[in-house]
Amino acid sequence: MPPPKRRLSHDQQVLVDTLLGGLPAVLVAMWFVWFDQHAPDAKHQWTLTLLVVGCWLGFAVAVRMRVVRPLQTMANLLSALREGDFAVRARGANRDEPLGDVMTEINTLSRTLQEQRLSALEATALLRTVMEEIAIAVFAFDAEGKLRLANHAAQLLVNKPAERILGRDAAELGLAECLTGEPNRVLTLTFPGASGRWGMRRSQFREGGRPHELVVIADLSRTLREEELQAWQRIVRVLGHELNNSLAPIKSLAGSLSTLLKSPKRAPDWEDDMRSGLDIIASRAEMLARFMQAYSRFARLPKPTLAPTPLAPLVRRVVALESRLPVELQPGPDITLPCDAAQIEQLVINLVKNAVEAALEQRGNGRPEAKVCVTWEASGPAVELLVKDEGPGIEQATNLFVPFFTTKPEGSGIGLVLCRQIAENHGGTLTLANRIDAPGCVATLRLPA
């Protein structure tokens, strides 16, 4: 196989083209110098020949240098940009000639890169400061599971400085569990620097074209303890309020009845007073028992057992159960939900019950046309069940989902809380708001379809 032909470089090609361009004129001049009948003598012939050939070669070399030097200048400028030196600028950069246009664009590129580099440095400095100041441990591992980055909180967690942990395997640091399994979960782990419950999030990023794992670990123990304390305080406050409301009259009545029995002289109707007092005590005890039963029911709500459930038959069953007021049903599309049918049915029963009671209250206030409507519709990847009433509406929206808060004389304040918990256990939401198109309220149950 013959060796490939060697091509001329750009400057060599320019030199050859320049020489070829002047070659016809040189040949004509040489013919007149050497072969014309009026040619000078030999001394002048050699002098003219050297002058013509020298000028020819000199101008060809000058043209080559005229082309090569700007290219070398541009190469040096681009090399400086590649090396990160953005302070170098090209002289003679103006828009009056093509070469000046090129130099101007290189200077503009240099200024742009300089600004971008400054912005990147500032952003990196800000990110580094934030990483060091946040109280969340951040680890970065390469594809081999070697630690490549650890902020200050991460160093405190493993109780070692960065220079002693960078480059070490995740298993050596007790973090191997964080690189496997679900990317978002709660862990109960003991680290050299702390122990407790941790919220862990894992994601992937690329650096230098290679995959890396970013692990973020946040301490949940303190937050959970604070939330648990607040929850207990609220429960104790509510329970104490309800118990006092029931026990105070029971204690007062019991004392009155005891005094009545100890009295040597009793009124003729003392048995009626005794019977009435005992009835009141029994009534308050029954209300207290009903309240505690509702609380127990709220605390023991089981996890839903999901199964494909057609929505239309479920809603029709609930509507048929209501006998106090005809409920208008506006059927939506045929949709099958993955849900716990018993829990969702109980949820819809509570919503319809509340809507009917609101409509009946409004009918008692002089609006006999107040009614209740139930419908559903598809909303992207979810389905929305709407229960609309024409009642008085919502006055205190902030207390709707507060446990044991109720405005009904016989209410337990647990129904809406149970409904929202059922919805959230199914990955959905429950909201209540005043209607815009008419008086009353609309309850919106949104569940994934």
Residues whose CB is less than 8 angstroms from the CB of residue 236 and which lie 6 or more positions away in sequence, other chains included: none
Judge if 330 and 418 occupy the same domain: yes
Three-state DSSP state, 384: strand
For residue 374, tell me if it sits in a domain: yes
What is the chain's alpha carbon radius of gyration, rounded to the nearest angstrom?
45
For residue 92, tell me if it sits in a domain: no
Q: How much is the average pLDDT of 432-438? A: 85
CA torsion angle for 122, 128, 129, 130 (degrees, to 10)?
110
Longest dimension (CA), the chain: 172
Q: Per-residue pLDDT for 86 more than 50?
A: yes
DSSP secondary structure string for all residues of 140-181: EE-TTSBEEEE-HHHHHHHTS-HHHHTT-BTTTTT-GGGGSS
Nearest of 322, 301, 323, 345 to residue 447 by alpha carbon? 345
Q: How much is the average pLDDT of 434-444? A: 87
Q: How much is the average pLDDT of 284-313? A: 74
- pLDDT tens readout for residues 106-160: 788 888 888 888 888 888 788 788 888 888 889 999 888 889 888 888 888 888 8
Judge if 178 and 244 occupy the same domain: no
Residues whose CB is less than 8 angstroms from the CB of residue 194 and which lie 6 or more positions away in sequence, other chains included: 156, 157, 219
Last residue of a domain, one of 171, 195, 219: 219
Please report, for the domain that includes residue 323, its CATH number: 3.30.565.10
Residue 346 CB burial class (10 angstroms; 0-12, 13-18, ≥19): middle
Asked whether the beta carbons of 412 and 291 are under 8 A apart, the reply is yes
Rounded distance between C-alpha atoms, residue 291 and residue 69, angstroms? 94
Three-state DSSP state, 437: coil
Highest mean pLDDT among 36-45, 133-142, 257-266, 270-279: 133-142
Tokens of 72: 């070398």
- Chain-centroid distance of CA 150 in Å reads 23
pLDDT of residue 411: 47
Judge if 181 and 241 occupy the same domain: no
Angle at 87 between CA 82 and CA 93, to 5 degrees: 95
Among 220-224, 289-293, 406-410, which is the least confidently predicted range?
Answer: 406-410
Q: Sorting pLDDT into bands at 50, 70 and 90, what band is 385?
A: very high
Angle at 221 between CA 173 and CA 167, to 5 degrees: 15
Q: How much is the average pLDDT of 217-223? A: 79
Last residue of a domain, one of 299, 319, 350: 299
For residue 230, tell me if it sits in a domain: yes
- pLDDT tens readout for residues 224-244: 667 666 766 666 666 666 667
Give percent of the chain with pLDDT exceeding 70: 83
| 206: phi then psi, degrees, rounded to nearest 5 | -120, 140
Among 54-68, 132-146, 249-263, 306-320, which is the least confidently predicted range?
Answer: 249-263
Residue 40 CB burial class (10 angstroms; 0-12, 13-18, ≥19): middle
pLDDT of residue 125: 84
Rounded distance between C-alpha atoms, residue 45 and residue 217, angstroms? 93
pLDDT mean across residues, the chain: 79
- pLDDT tens readout for residues 60-84: 888 888 888 877 888 888 888 888 7
Q: Sorting pLDDT into bands at 50, 70 and 90, what band is 11?
A: confident
Q: Sorting pLDDT into bands at 50, 70 and 90, what band is 318?
A: confident
For residue 109, tell me if it sits in a domain: no
Q: How much is the average pLDDT of 419-436? A: 87
Three-state DSSP state, 190: strand
Among 189-198, 262-271, 299-308, 341-350, which is the least confidently predicted range?
Answer: 262-271
Please report, for the domain that includes residue 259, its CATH number: 1.10.287
Rounded distance between C-alpha atoms, residue 156 and residue 80, angstroms? 42
For residue 126, tell me if it sits in a domain: no
Three-state DSSP state, 23: helix
For residue 269, tell me if it sits in a domain: yes
Judge if 286 and 210 occupy the same domain: no
Tokens of 105: 């664009």
Judge if 343 and 237 occupy the same domain: no
Judge if 312 and 254 occupy the same domain: no
Q: Per-residue pLDDT for 312 more than 50?
A: yes
Nearest of 363, 316, 360, 348 to residue 415 by alpha carbon? 348
pLDDT of residue 439: 84
Q: Sorting pLDDT into bands at 50, 70 and 90, what band is 347?
A: confident
More confident residue, 251 or 139: 139
For residue 115, tell me if it sits in a domain: no
Q: What is the DSSP letter of 398?
A: G
Rounded distance between C-alpha atoms, residue 442 and residue 183, angstroms? 38
Q: Per-residue pLDDT for 303 more than 60?
A: yes
pLDDT of residue 373: 92
Crossing angle between the packed helical segments 98-133 and 42-82, to the nearest 10 degrees: 20
Tokens of 286: 């029954």
Q: How much is the average pLDDT of 385-407? A: 69
Last residue of a domain, one of 299, 333, 364: 299
Tokens of 259: 């005094």
Tokens of 69: 């030097």
For residue 407, tell me if it sits in a domain: yes
The number of CA neighbours under 13 Å toward the Cβ of 222 is 4
| 170: phi then psi, degrees, rounded to nearest 5 | -60, -35
Rounded distance between C-alpha atoms, residue 383 and residue 344, angstroms? 13
Asked whether the beta carbons of 166 and 186 are under 8 A apart, the reply is no
Domain that holds residue 258: 226-299
pLDDT of residue 375: 92
Q: Per-residue pLDDT for 402 more than 70?
A: no
Residue with tokens 């009433």: 389
385 to 378, 421, 429: CA distances (angstroms): 9, 16, 11
Judge if 327 and 378 occupy the same domain: yes
Q: Per-residue pLDDT for 252 more than 70?
A: yes
338 to 303, 357, 369, 426, 449: CA distances (angstroms): 14, 30, 37, 9, 7
Q: Per-residue pLDDT for 165 more than 50?
A: yes
The bridge status of strand 372-379 relative to strand 327-330 is parallel
Q: Per-residue pLDDT for 37 more than 70?
A: no
